[in-house]
């Protein structure tokens, strides 16, 4: 069965303190790994899709990387507005491409 585990569950950073969030996955034939940002009381917002090991994507202070077993979301010099829950999801390459499994998320708090 496909599994996605995110760590840590919660992370508190000072403004400017860089760090990384981890997403470990087990899937039969990875078709894509997705990162989302979710603010309190809102739906998740799509950030990136990664397709193969070694791939990297960047958006402002965020950079996502992918290996065969895990993905990292690196946050460089975070600001308070980066505070949110970050969700990781994997999609298997089998079947009809609707097997997207989400992790429980990492709740990031950035203090000024």
Binding stretches for other proteins (CB under 8 A): 4, 31-32, 34, 36, 41-49, 51, 87, 89, 91, 96-98, 100, 102-105
Pick the closer one to other proteins by CB: 37 or 75: 37
Radius of gyration of the chain (CA): 14
Task: Quote the least distance from Cβ 111 to other proteins, whole Å.
Answer: 23
Task: Quote the least distance from Cβ 18 to other proteins, whole Å.
Answer: 25
Pick the closer one to other proteins by CB: 87 or 108: 87
Pick the closer one to other proteins by CB: 27 or 34: 34
The span from the first CA to the last CA of the chain, in angstroms, equals 41
Task: Quote the least distance from Cβ 19 to other proteins, whole Å.
Answer: 21
Residues β-bridged to residue 64: 57, 73
Pick the closer one to other proteins by CB: 77 or 104: 104
SS3 87: strand
């Amino acid at each position: 069965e496909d599994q996605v585990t995110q760590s840590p569950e919660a992370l508190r950073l000072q403004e400017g303190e860089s760090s990384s969030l981890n997403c470990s996955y087990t899937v039969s034939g990875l078709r894509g790994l997705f990162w989302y940002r979710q603010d309190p009381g809102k739906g998740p917002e799509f950030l990136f899709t990664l397709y193969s090991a070694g791939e990297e994507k960047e958006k402002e202070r965020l950079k996502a990387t992918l290996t065969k077993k895990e993905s990292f979301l690196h946050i460089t010099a975070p600001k308070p507005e980066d505070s949110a829950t970050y969700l990781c999801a994997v999609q298997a390459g089998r079947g009809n491409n609707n097997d997207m499994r989400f992790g429980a998320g990492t709740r990031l708090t950035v203090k000024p």
